[in-house]
Amino acid sequence: MHITVDQDKCCGAGSCVLAAPDVFDQRDEDGIVVLLEARPAAGLHEAVREAAAVCPAAAITLEQAQERV
């Protein structure tokens, strides 16, 4: 999984931080999302999917990693 965030879209709701605090944080000055881990461990994927789903600004994009054969 690869995560990108659009800080311009972010409204600072903090839902992502509540859902996946090991992956997302917020800037102190304005609450805008900060991505801590663009490629989180598999054990965090469910929480990251939840964070993306609850983001009111749709500022989180998830891409599944391609398997190498």
Exposed, middle or buried: residue 34 (CB in 10 Å: 0-12, 13-18, 19+)?
middle
Helix (H, G, I), strand (E, B) or coil at 24: strand
- Which DSSP string do the residues of 48-59 spell out, in sequence order? HHHHHHH-TT--
pLDDT tens track for 7-54: 999 999 999 999 999 999 999 999 999 999 999 999 999 999 999 999
pLDDT at 68: 54
Q: One-letter amino acid identity for 35?
A: L
What's residue 67's pLDDT? 54
Q: So where are the chain's domains?
A: 2-63
Residue 66 has pLDDT above 90, yes or no: no
- What is the architecture of the domain spanning 2-63? 2-Layer Sandwich (3.30)
> Higher confidence at residue 65 or residue 46?
46
